[in-house]
Structure 1
Amino acid sequence: MDEVTYRAAYKSEWDICMDLAWRTFLKFDAPDYPQEGIDNFREFVTDEVLKNMFHSGEYQLFVAVCAKKIIGIISLRDRNHISLLFVEPVFHRQGVGTGLLRTLTEYMYSEMGQTSVTVNASPYAVGFYHKMGFEDTDIQQLVSGILYTPMILYI
């Protein structure tokens, strides 16, 4: 694999990033979700309000880039909550998700003074987050068709 670099996403990359999230969600997460959850996720990644928040700096988005192609994304909302973390399937289990998480937590700690980060982990991602040191804060939830386990990591 070529070298992977991590950086803040450019405004022009929003649609590419949300397409990556949607395609990856369909492959790995959607099979566990009822139709309501799939529809709600689709609305989320196509929401113009969210896009405008990103453009105004209220919603942080970081990317992993390999050979000039975005291969992974991670986003932050409300200063301490991972909103999206997706990696192109061919790059799974190669450290890209770990690199994205490290990039985000370093930014949160150094730029924002945050000492913890939360996530609502999909069933597919629970093992990854546990491996990264996250702890469950509650049992698995089903809200608006979205199935997740709330977790926290102390930075």
Structure 2
Amino acid sequence: MQIRPIEDNDVPQAARLLRDLSIEFIVQESTPEGAATFLRENDAEAIRRYIEIGHVYHVAESGGEIAGFIGVRDRSHLFHMFVCAKWQGQGVARKLWEVARSVAIESGGGGTFTVNSSNFALPVYEAMGFVRTAPMQCLKGIYFNPMRLNANGASQ
């Protein structure tokens, strides 16, 4: 398994992975309008725009297949993290997170991170040390749990 910066030819496969997993684990809890907006705002062209404006993405690749990917905004917000179902539970998310976190800190980030977790992903983020900072929220018809990981490892 190789973790590396995303390349333009990876974007369509990453976008398909995001769409498939979002339909299965995120948008089913959302309003129909929220689901449509979320999927539209997270397609291949949107990922390319996020990269253009400075979000930093990495992919986990195995045998030419994208097993997962991660995107970090402003060296402090875990914006996207999706792992293919067949790779879940094998440490791929943690490996992606370790690389993305290191890159963010090495490029000037302070080491404190936030994430807006789906209900499904809560245990993954909690295992990485993130803690909820507020009850579940809804924005644009999408439900999420605000979470934070402090640079010093303290819970709040």
Q: 1:113 to 1:82 in 2, by over 3 A?
A: closer
For the pair 1:114 / 2:110, whether they are aligned, the reply is yes
- Secondary structure of the equivalent of 1:112? coil
Choose the corresponding residue for 1:90, options 86, 91, 97.
Answer: 86
Count of paired positions: 151
Whether the 8 Å CA contact 1:136–1:151 is kept in 2: the answer is: yes
Whether the 8 Å CA contact 1:32–1:123 is kept in 2: the answer is: no
| TM-score normalised according to structure 2 size | 0.89
Choose the corresponding residue for 2:121, options 108, 115, 125.
Answer: 125
- Secondary structure of the equivalent of 1:23? helix
Q: 1:27 to 1:100 in 2, by over 3 A?
A: same
CA RMSD of aligned residues (A): 1.6
% identical equivalent positions = 26
CA distance in 2 between partners of 1:65 and 1:102 (Å)? 15
Q: How do 1:32-111 and structure 2 match up within 5 A?
A: 32-46=29-43, 48=45, 50-54=47-51, 56=52, 58-111=54-107
CA distance in 1 between partners of 2:124 and 2:134 (Å)? 17
**AA matched with 2:139:** V
Choose the corresponding residue for 1:7, options 4, 22, 43.
Answer: 4
CA distance in 2 between partners of 1:8 and 1:91 (Å)? 19
- The offset of 1:32, in angstroms, is 1.9
| TM-score normalised according to structure 1 size | 0.89
Kindly report structure 1 stretches of 4+ aligned residues shifted beyond 3 Å. Answer: 47-50
Gaps of 5+ in 1: none
The match for 1:148 is 144
- The offset of 1:109, in angstroms, is 1.1
CA distance in 1 between partners of 2:105 and 2:75 (Å)? 10
- The offset of 1:57, in angstroms, is 5.9
